[in-house]
Structure 1
Amino acid sequence: MTAERDALAERVRALLPHDRATREVAMFGGLSFMVDDAMAVAAGRDGGLLVRTDPARHEELLGVRGAEPAVMGTDRPMGPGWITIRPDGLATDEQIAFWIGVGLEGRRG
């Protein structure tokens, strides 16, 4: 656990839908937030956010501030449908809420 991950996790918890079943699971080296038993986002050790996206929106979403292709470990791309958001793209609650929404939509893609 890191202070960065814990701080982001607190912010994510506050913005998750409260009318749906949610749980937290350690995976992908961070803390994943499951909504209705499917991962939406995960808070990473560095304070970044891993987001499950609709693969059809991958290139579009990479144009959003802080977004970059997700990489497993140091060199294995996770491919379309997975994006990492650097901490500089998570400065406001609105930015985090946007990515949570993308993660909830991405589970259907």
Structure 2
Amino acid sequence: MSELMETVLIERIRALIPDTSVEQKRMFGGTCFMVNGNMLVCVSRRGLMARVGKEQEAEALARPHAAQCRPTGRPMPGFIRIEPEGIETDDDLRHWVEMARAYVCALPPKAPKPKSMKSGKANR
């Protein structure tokens, strides 16, 4: 996926989830959309990663162009990688975003991580 296609996909997702509880953050070599500190979807040059949860994983893997996410060679249960061909239409993209939202919006909010002290500064 080209940089332009990646940018367009980010805009398409933003249009599907315009609410203020969604935060954009650079992670996993791409742009992630977060809800209450939990990753919803992540756009990268490889396509889309969606967090659908273990309960929906078999259903998600049955869809065309979907595979289990294995960024380090080991599977990440509940995370699905969708090739660019699987998100070409707005209906396909909406399906993945809604499947991820059904799971992620039911999760408890993550507590923000405390900001660490810069090295060299001692606690006094």
Partner residue, 1:100: 97
Further displaced range: 28-37 or 83-92: 28-37
1:5–1:78: structure 2 CA closer, same or farther, 3 Å change rule?
farther
- CA shift, 1:9, in A, is 0.5
Cα deviation digits, residues 53-80 of structure 1 (max 9, x gap): 120221221011111111215xx23322
- The DSSP-based 3-state class of the residue aligned with 1:56 is helix
Partner residue, 1:87: 84
Partner residue, 1:59: 58
Higher strand share: 1
Cα deviation digits, residues 7-52 of structure 1 (max 9, x gap): 1101111111x34411100001110011233211011123x11000
- Runs of 4 or more, structure 1, over 4 Å off, are none
Q: Percent identity?
A: 30
Count of residue pairs brought into register by the alignment: 105
Further displaced range: 86-95 or 37-46: 37-46
**Which is greater in Rg?**
2
Partner residue, 2:29: 29
Matched-pair contact (CA < 8 Å) for 1:31–1:44: yes
RMSD across aligned C-alpha pairs, in angstroms?
A: 1.8
> Structure 2-normalised TM-score?
0.75
- The DSSP-based 3-state class of the residue aligned with 1:71 is coil
> What 5-or-longer segments of structure 2 have no aligned partner?
108-124
Distance in 2 between residues matched to 1:77 and 1:102, nearest whole Å: 23
1:79–1:37: structure 2 CA closer, same or farther, 3 Å change rule?
closer
